[in-house]
C-alpha cells in the first residue's frame, strides 16, 4: 500500500514538472509570437527612423495610420520660411500652406509617398495655389553612400536648370529605384543627365566634388531640430506628420489650415 502511495506521489510530481515546463514553453512562444507581430507591423507602418543620429541605425519607427491630431514640432519651431530654407519647391511661393518634407531616396516608404500620395496633393492643392511643397534631404546612414550621392545629384541637376529640373531628376531617381527593387548604381545616376538632357560631365564633376554635402547636412540638422526622426517626415504649417501616411491624413491637416 505504501509502495503504491509513493508511486502515485512520484507520478503527481512528474506531471507537475511537465506542466511547469509546458507553461514556460507556452509563455515563451506567446512572447515570441507577439514580438514577431510587432516586428512585422513596424515594417509596414510607414517610415524608416533613427532615434540617435542619421548615421546610426536604430530600427524602424512605427508611425501609425491616421493620426487625428498631428503634433507640433519640438523646440517650438514653427517658422515655415526658415524650415523651407532655400530648397527646391513646387507650387506658389506665397501659398497659404507650406509642406516641408524630409526624405531619403533609398527609403521605400519615401518612394511609396511619392508614387501614391504626392500626385493627389499636387493636383488638389499644389497646382491650385493652396500648397507650397518643399523637398529637403534626410539620407539615413545605412543607405549611404548612395543616398547622399543621389541627394547631391538632384542639387547638381538643379544647378544646371531650376526647381523643375530638380524635381524632374528627383522623380527619375525614385522611378529608377523602384523599378530596380534594390536601389540603383552610381553609373545609372550619372546616366540620368543624358535622359534629362543635362551636361553629364558637369553633373559627374559636381557630384564627385561633394559640393552640396554641407547643404544636405544642414537639411538633416534642421529636420532633426524640427522633430524629424525618420523618413519620410513632414512639417505642415508647424504640424508634424510622420511616415508615408495616406492622402486622407494630409487632406485633414491641409484643410484645417486653410479653414483656420
| Cβ burial, residue 14 (10 Å; 0-12/13-18/19+) | exposed
pLDDT of residue 54: 36
The pLDDT averaged over each successive group of 10 residues in the chain (260 residues) is: 48 46 39 38 45 33 37 55 95 97 95 95 98 97 92 97 98 83 80 97 96 96 94 96 95 96
DSSP 8-state assignment for residue 75: G
| Cβ burial, residue 181 (10 Å; 0-12/13-18/19+) | exposed
pLDDT of residue 217: 96
CA 192, CA 169: separation in Å to the nearest integer?
7
Q: Which residues contact 202 (CB under 8 A, 6 or more apart)?
A: 156, 160
H helical segments located in 44-79: none
Where are the chain's structural domains? 1-43, 48-259
CA 231, CA 47: separation in Å to the nearest integer?
5
* CB 102, CB 232: distance < 8 Å: yes
| Residue-wise burial string across 57-69, b where 16 or more C-beta atoms lie within 10 A, e elsewhere | bbebbbbeeebee
* CB 253, CB 236: distance < 8 Å: yes
Pick the CATH number of 48-259 from 3.40.50.150, 1.10.1380.10, 3.50.50.60, 3.40.30.10: 3.40.30.10
pLDDT of residue 116: 92
pLDDT of residue 184: 81
Amino acid at each position: 500500500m505504501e509502495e503504491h502511495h509513493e508511486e502515485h506521489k512520484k507520478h503527481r510530481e512528474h506531471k507537475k514538472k511537465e506542466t511547469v515546463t509546458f507553461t514556460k514553453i507556452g509563455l515563451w512562444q506567446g512572447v515570441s509570437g507577439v514580438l514577431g507581430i510587432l516586428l512585422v507591423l513596424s515594417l509596414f507602418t510607414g517610415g524608416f527612423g533613427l532615434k540617435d543620429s542619421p548615421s546610426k541605425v536604430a530600427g524602424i519607427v512605427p508611425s501609425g495610420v491616421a493620426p487625428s491630431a498631428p503634433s507640433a514640432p519640438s523646440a517650438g519651431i514653427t517658422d515655415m520660411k526658415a524650415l523651407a530654407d532655400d530648397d527646391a519647391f513646387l507650387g506658389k511661393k506665397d501659398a497659404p500652406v507650406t509642406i516641408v518634407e524630409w526624405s531619403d531616396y533609398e527609403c521605400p516608404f519615401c518612394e511609396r509617398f511619392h508614387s501614391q500620395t504626392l500626385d493627389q496633393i499636387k493636383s488638389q492643392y499644389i497646382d491650385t495655389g493652396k500648397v507650397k511643397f518643399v523637398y529637403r534631404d534626410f539620407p539615413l546612414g545605412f543607405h549611404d553612400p548612395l543616398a547622399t550621392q543621389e541627394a547631391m545629384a538632384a542639387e547638381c541637376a538643379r544647378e544646371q536648370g531650376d526647381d523643375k529640373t530638380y524635381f524632374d531628376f528627383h522623380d527619375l531617381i525614385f522611378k529608377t529605384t523602384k523599378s530596380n527593387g534594390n536601389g540603383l548604381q552610381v553609373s545609372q545616376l550619372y546616366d540620368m543627365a543624358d535622359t534629362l538632357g543635362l551636361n553629364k560631365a558637369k553633373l559627374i564633376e559636381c557630384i564627385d566634388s561633394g559640393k552640396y554635402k554641407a547643404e544636405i547636412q544642414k537639411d538633416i540638422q534642421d529636420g532633426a531640430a524640427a522633430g524629424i526622426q525618420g523618413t519620410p517626415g513632414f512639417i505642415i504649417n508647424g504640424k508634424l506628420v510622420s511616415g508615408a501616411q495616406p492622402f486622407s491624413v494630409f487632406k485633414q491637416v491641409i484643410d484645417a489650415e486653410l479653414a483656420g
